Structures are given as C-alpha cells and as structure tokens.
Amino acid sequence: MAAAASRAGRLTRSEVVSNVAVLMFGGIETTEGMIGNAIRHLLLHPDQRALIDGERGLLPNAVEESLRLEPAAAVVDRYATAHVRLGNASIGKGELVSISIAGANRDPDFFPNPDRFDVRRENASRQVAFAAGPHVCIGMHLARLEAHTVIGRLLDRLPRLRLDPAHPSAPRGLIFRKPPMLHAVWD
C-alpha cells in the first residue's frame, strides 16, 4: 500500500502510515461511538423507540437525530486557510481552530428544541457530525449502514431491551464521546 500510494500520490511512507492510522481509528472509534450513542438514545426514550417499532422507516432518521444530539466526534481541529474575522475574534492564516460539532448541531435557530431527541425531526439529516466539504468523512455511508444494521437487528431480536437502571451510563470524553459501557436488561 505504501509503495502504491507513494507512486500514485507522491506520498512518503510516513504520510501513508499516518493516513492509514487515521482511517483505521476513525472507522472504529467513531462508528462504535455512533452506534452506542444511538442505542442509548433509543433506550432512554421509549416513546421514540415505540415510533420506530411502529414505523421501521424512521430508523435512518433516528440515527441522524442521535448523530445531531451526541456526535461521536464532538470537536474537530482545522487550520485557517486565510486571515478572517469571526465576530470579535481575529483568526490568522495557519492558526489552529477547534470547531464544536456538538455545538453546531444544537443551534436553536436551526434545530428547534435542540436538546430533545426526536426521531421525527425533519432536518435531522442536516447535522454536521461527518463534517462537510473537502473534509467530509469518507466512511460516512459505511458508518450509517453499520448503525442501521446493528440497531435494526438489536430492536428486532431484543424488543424488550432496556437500560439497566442499576447501572446508568452517559457519554464521556471531550473530543470522542460515547458511553464507556451500556448495561441493559431484557425479559
């Protein structure tokens, strides 16, 4: 892989290794967080889960809504490509800028009642958990497919699954957010 990438893209071996590491980490950590957060949201909100049970076509929107409410990668770093002013802040070309995806996804002017988990939210797919433009996540379609498959199978096979009230869990982490563990019970 390193040899092919260096010939085709003129990348050094260390650049290839760095990119492969980012792809592997991104494809595991964030997808795991995305699925864990979505399962937690659905189990925390039985009324919303009942909507999905009654109308399975809502599952993709439920995943988008979970991504909006609790993106697995809450913050991303970028470097300014030009000098700009943003409000009262001056950002110089080349400066590191940390962007809160979680904050953008809770903009009340764009997402009314932003702290509510609503599987019928009409604009849930407008969330920016996968970024956009030249930095959009190249694995977003696979991650969504994995989430739809896992969550759909889980809801089908364990219809009475619920969070274990004796072991509550919430997402943790500053940059990568997910519950460290989900304890569940079913009967």
Dihedral, CA atoms, 150, 70, 66, 97, nearest 10 degrees? -100
Sequence-distant (6+) residues with CB within 8 A of 55 are none
Residue 12 lies in a domain: yes
pLDDT at residue 177 in the model: 93
Residue 95 lies in a domain: no
Among 104, 113, 117, 135, CA closest to 64: 117
Residue 92 lies in a domain: no
- The count of domains in the chain is 1
Q: What is the CATH number of the domain that holds 12?
A: 1.10.630.10
Q: pLDDT digits over 118-135, tens only?
A: 999 999 999 999 999 888
Residue 85 lies in a domain: no
d(CA 29, CA 173): 12
Sequence-distant (6+) residues with CB within 8 A of 11 are 5, 19
2 confidence band (pLDDT: 50, 70, 90)? low
Residue 99 lies in a domain: no
Range of the domain at 52: 2-71+106-185
pTM listed for this prediction: 0.87
What proportions of the chain, in percent to the nearest 5, are helix, strand and coil? 50, 15, 40
148-152 average pLDDT score:
97
- The DSSP letter of residue 29 is I
Residue 100 lies in a domain: no
Instruction: Specify whether the CB–CB gap between 137 and 26 falls below 8 A.
Output: yes
Q: pLDDT digits over 4-63, tens only?
A: 666 666 778 888 888 788 777 778 889 999 999 999 999 999 999 999 988 989 999 999
Residue 93 lies in a domain: no
Q: pLDDT digits over 151-171, tens only?
A: 999 999 999 999 999 999 999
Residue 120 lies in a domain: yes
